[in-house]
Amino acid sequence: MFEQEMQTVLSFLEGAKAILLMGQDGIVVEQYTKEGTENFEEITIEMSQILAQVGTVVQQAQLGQMKEMIFQTSKNTIMIHVLNVDVFLALLLDKEENVGKSRFALQKITPDIKLRLKL
Condensed to tens digits (0 to 9), the pLDDT of residues 45-95 reads 888 888 889 988 998 999 998 899 999 999 999 999 999 989 999 999 999
Residue 98, amino acid = N
For 44, residues 6+ apart whose C-beta sits below 8 A from its C-beta are 20, 22, 26, 28, 78, 90
Residue bearing the bigger pLDDT, 118 or 35: 118
Q: What is the DSSP letter of 72?
A: E
**Residues 90-104, mean pLDDT to the nearest whole number:** 96
Q: Which domains does the chain have, with CATH numbers?
A: 3-117 (3.30.450.30)
- Tell me the pTM: 0.91
Give dist(CA 79, CA 64) in Å, integer: 19
| pLDDT band with cut points at 50, 70 and 90 for residue 37 | confident
For 89, phi and psi rounded to 5 degrees?
-100, 140
| Model confidence at 35: pLDDT above 80 | no
**Residues 27-44, mean pLDDT to the nearest whole number:** 85
Q: Residue 19: is it exposed, middle or buried by C-beta count within 10 angstroms (0-12/13-18/19+)?
A: buried
